[in-house]
Amino acid sequence: MRGGGLWQLGQSITRRLAQADKKAVGRRCFASEAEQKKTVLYDFHVANGGKMVPFAGWSMPIQYKDSIMESTVNCRQNGSLFDVSHMCGLSLKGKDCVPFLEKLVIADVAALAPGTGTLTVFTNEKGGAIDDSVITKVTDDHIYIVVNAGCRDKDLAHIEAHMKSFKAKGGDVSWNIHDERSLLALQGPLAAPVLQHLTKEDLSKVYFGEFRITDINGARCFITRTGYTGEDGFEISVPSENAVDLAKAILEKSEGKVRLTGLGARDSLRLEAGLCLYGNDMEQHTTPVEAGLNWAIGKRRKAEGGFLGAEVILKQLAEGPKVRLVGFTSTGPPPRSHSEIQDEKGTTIGEITSGGFSPCLKKNIAMGYVKSGSHKTGTKAKLLVRGKAYDGVVTKKPFVPTKYYKPS
C-alpha cells in the first residue's frame, strides 16, 4: 500500500483513535488546536517532523516522516520511542492501599510481589469496564497505576469517590497524581540494549511486568518492563524537565535504529499483538470475561469476588458469556470498527471493534465481538465493508507472536 493508500490508512487510524471512548472524551477530541494540551515533547515532535493530531484532548503525533507501515515494521525489527505522556500516572499510598484498590479492580493485588505488576480492569457495578490499566505494587503500601488519557477524568472521579467513602470508614489510603512526570515507551528488540547504555541498573534481571525506581540518563525514573506492542520494552516515567534530554539520548544511543513513532503505528502494533483499545474493544458495557481477560482475574478474586460487578463477572465465568471478543483475518478491503459480522448464512452474529491492514503480516486483521458458539478458531464468517460481504475466518490472537522478556 503506497501513497494515497497510506494516507487513507493514517486518516482512518486518526479517526478511529479520535473516536475512542467518546463518552469520556466528548468534544475535547475535536477541540481546536489552541485548546489541545501539549506534552513537554511537543516542540521536539514538531522539530522531528511529527504530524500532530487531536487525541483525547491532547495534540499528539500520528506519525513522523516515515509512513505508519514503515514505523510499525521498524518497531519489530529495531525499536520505537513513543511519547505517551498524555496517559495519567498516579500512586496510591497507605497501609490500606491494597484492600482499597481490590474493591475497584479484578486483579489479586495482594498476591503481587513488591516490584511486580499486571494488567487489570476497573469495573462498574454491572461488571462493565470503566478502564483497563497497568498496576504495579511498588511496596505493600505503594501502588503505581497508569490509566488511559481518554478515561482520565472519569477514572480519577471514580477512584476519588470511593476513596472518600473508604477513608470515612477509617481506611488509610491517599493518592498522588504524577502530573510532574512524563511517560515514554521504548519498544522493540533494541529497547533493552539501548536503555542499558543509560543506566547502571542490570536490565537483564528486570523481567516482563517488573518495576524499578532507578537513575536513567541522570534522572530518577520509574521503569516498568511492559508496553503496548507485543514487543519487549519499557515504559519510563521521567521528571518532565528531563524528558526531552532522555528522548534525545535514547535516539542517539540507538544510532538511528530506534525511531520516534506516533499513535498510528502504535495502533497497528497493538492490533497485531491482539491488545484491546479502550473505547473500541472494551467499553462500559463490556465485561472482562467477554473481552477474553479471564486470565487477569486473580484466582482468589474468582473465588471471593469483592470487587464492583463481581456477581455478574463470576456468573459469566461459571456459565460462559453471551458474546466473546475474537480475532479475524479477511479478504478484500480491511474491515473497520462497526463493520458487521455475519455467519455463512448471512445472519448477523456480531460487530468488528478494531481492524486494519497488518504492516508486518501484509494481510487484513481485526477483532470483534461475536455470539458465543461462533467464536471458535477456524469458524468462517462474512465481514461487511461498505455494504459488501468479504470472507473472514476467526483467527487466534495474537496475530504476531509476542516477545516479552521472561525468565527462561
DSSP state of 26: G
Q: How confident is the model at residue 2 (pLDDT cuts 50, 70, 90)?
A: very low
Alpha helices in 214-253 (DSSP H): 243-253
Amino acid at 361: L
Which residue's entry shows cell 458495557? 285
Q: At residue 17, does pLDDT exceed 90?
A: no
Q: What percent of the chain stands above pLDDT 90?
A: 91
pLDDT in tens, 162-175: 999 999 999 999 99
Beta bridge partners of 52: 61
CB atoms within 10 A of CB 38: 16
CB 121 within 8 A of CB 106: yes
Question: Sorting pLDDT into bands at 50, 70 and 90, what band is 10?
Answer: low
Name the average pLDDT for the chain.
93
Looking at the predicted structure, is the pLDDT value of residue 117 above 80? yes
Query: What is the sign of the dihedral through the CA atoms of 43, 152, 139 and 210?
Result: negative
Closest alpha carbon to 89 in 181, 6, 3: 181
> Over the stretch 21-50, which tens digit does the pLDDT of each residue have?
444 333 334 446 668 999 999 999 999 999
What pLDDT, on the 0 to 100 scale, is given for residue 12? 53
Mean pLDDT of 252-256: 97
Rounded alpha-carbon distances, angstroms, from residue 190 to 85, 253, 259, 292, 400: 21, 10, 11, 30, 18
Give per-residue pLDDT as tens, 293-309.
999 999 999 999 999 99
Asked which of 31-35, 63-67, 144-148, 210-214 is least confident by mean pLDDT, the reply is 31-35
Please tell me the pTM assigned to this model: 0.92
Are 195 and 219 in contact by the 8 Å Cβ rule? The answer is no
Which range, of 20-24, 102-106, 382-386, averages the lowest pLDDT? 20-24
Q: Tell me if residue 388 falls in helix, strand or coil.
A: strand
Are the C-beta atoms of 355 and 367 separated by less than 8 Å? Answer: yes
Please spell the DSSP secondary structure of 249-295, one letter per residue: HHHHHTTT-EEE--HHHHHHHHHHTT---BTTTB-TT--TTTTT-GG
Q: What residues have CB less than 8 Å from 373, skipping those under 6 apart? A: none
Number of separate helices (H) and strands (E) present in the chain: 11, 19
How far is the CA of 378 from the CAs of 10, 326, 339, in angstroms? Answer: 30, 11, 19
Cell 486483521 locates to 365
pLDDT at 211 > cutoff 90: yes
Q: Is the pLDDT of residue 18 over 90?
A: no
Q: What is the pLDDT of residues 212-236, one digit of tens each?
A: 999 999 999 999 999 999 999 999 9
pLDDT of residue 408: 87
